[in-house]
Amino acid sequence: MFGHLGAMVRARAIQNESVVLRSLLEVGESMSALTDRQQVLELVLREARRLAIAEAGTLYVLRENRLKFVAVQNDRLDISQVSRGLLGHELPVSGESLAGFVAMTGLAMNIEDTYSLPAGTSFRIDREFDAALRYSTRSVLAMPLICPGGPCVGVLEFINHIDSAGNVGPFPAEGIAGLESLAAMAAVTVYNHLLQDQLRQAHLDTIMRLAVAAEFRDDDTGEHVRRISRSSAMIARRMGLGESQVELLQWASPMHDIGKIGIPDSILLKPGRLTDDERLVVQRHPQIGADILSDPQNELIAVAREVALSHHERWDGQGYPDRLAGTAIPLSGRIVCLADVLDALISKRCYKAAYPLDKVMGIIRDGRGSQFDPDVVDAFTDISPDVVEPYLRPAAD
């Protein structure tokens, strides 16, 4: 019986009788493809609809006590049209909507016909969607996404069950147990995403606070840091960078001047003009920043280091510390360079008044191809009203 080496089993496609099991596995497995969050949510909804045999469906995620539409699918309507109207929208957790009622009570609701609800039903069905898109929402099954022993993290809504004859009918009660299993899996998926978002958010919060702290001596409001983060991300997005790269720059750019921590008060806070020697001391801050961020263990710190070191380089090679020119300067540094100069020009500083907007725009245009990467200037110019908007609010200084 014993006595020989067992068969080597290659990992292979899972073959299993149970559709439920297969769907569950696909939902579970999809969690590993975390690089595209939206894709995972769409997959969860698609697998769930396949199991429920539903013509349409919506996945809501609960954040800050509001239900957000995160995935919307409909086999009978032009989905781009449907999504445009709904994605990003929110519902309160209340009887004002079916999904809100389900999230509020933690109860699944199986409605055979939304057009024949009895009087006094404790939630409202929104008819605007049907009217606007000439659609008929007949049967609806709405289930809370509850982590076992944990919080409600969202709602899964199935619309219009298609029966074996191909007609719209009520969702059969006997299929609900399997759907509940799937809802539990989906809840765990969504919960993991929420947890990861919370971790990312906490990290960003720490970066902002400590970057603000590092500039405390010459800007105790931290507005400079926040504005540069925002402007850099907007310009990067306009230049066509992927959302993960945009996010990296948004997080890394607040640390661009961290090296100023190494510049003595006597120079950093000097009211008048700097001597040549003093200017050389100030120009050490990119290298000090790069030293603080040296030997990066993750991508964020790597980009932050790149930005800290290169944000005073110039397109024409006349910048510092390394006199790099053109595309030898990292794109992150070229973008933050413009965002930094913009912020300096447009803000009031202890040694100068704020410049008027048209003068600022003129200076930046003049720097196109000399101080600045022409592509960065062009991207900024395309969206400049949005970028400068916070500077023009009465509260900004």
Q: According to CB under 8 A, which residues from 223 to 252 bind a copy of itself?
A: none
Kindly state whether residue 203 participates in binding a copy of itself, applying the rule CB under 8 A: yes
Binding mask 289-328 for a copy of itself (x = CB under 8 A): ---xx---xx-xx---------------------------
Q: Which of 80, 106, 283 is nearest to 183 (CA)?
A: 106
Query: Site residues for a copy of itself, window 345-364 (CB under 8 A)?
Result: none
Among the listed ranges 56-64, 92-100, 211-219, 375-383, the one in contact with a copy of itself (CB under 8 A) is 211-219
Kindly state whether residue 282 participates in binding a copy of itself, applying the rule CB under 8 A: no
Please state, in angstroms and as integers, the Cα–Cα distance from residue 359 to each residue in 355, 356, 381, following that order.
6, 6, 14
Query: Site residues for a copy of itself, window 7-36 (CB under 8 A)?
Result: 7-12, 14-16, 18, 20-21, 24-25, 28-29, 31-34
Identity of the residue, 290 or 342, whose beta carbon is nearer to a copy of itself in the bound complex: 290
Query: Site residues for a copy of itself, window 136-155 (CB under 8 A)?
Result: 138-139, 141, 144, 146-150
Token digits of residue 334:
């070229």
Cβ count within 10 A of residue 304? 28
Minimum CB separation of residue 315 from a copy of itself in Å reads 29
Pairing of strands 90-92, 140-146: unpaired
Query: Site residues for a copy of itself, window 76-135 (CB under 8 A)?
Result: 106-113, 115-118, 121
Q: Which of 162, 158, 191 is nearest to 40 (CA)?
A: 191
Using CB under 8 A, pick the residue from 65, 136, 196, 318 that binds a copy of itself.
196
Using CB under 8 A, pick the residue from 185, 228, 246, 329 that binds a copy of itself.
185
C-alpha span between 288 and 19 (Å, rounded): 59
The SS3 call for residue 323 is: coil
* 198 CB-near residues (< 8 Å, 6+ apart): none
Q: Is 173 exposed, middle or buried (0-12, 13-18, 19+ CB in 10 A)?
A: exposed
Kindly state whether residue 172 participates in binding a copy of itself, applying the rule CB under 8 A: no
Q: How many residues does the chain have?
A: 397
Q: How many residues bind a copy of itself (CB under 8 A)?
A: 97
For the four alpha carbons of 68, 74, 80 and 81, in that order, the dihedral sign comes to negative
Using CB under 8 A, pick the residue from 36, 75, 78, 205 that binds a copy of itself.
205
C-alpha span between 384 and 361 (Å, rounded): 9
Minimum CB separation of residue 146 from a copy of itself in Å reads 6
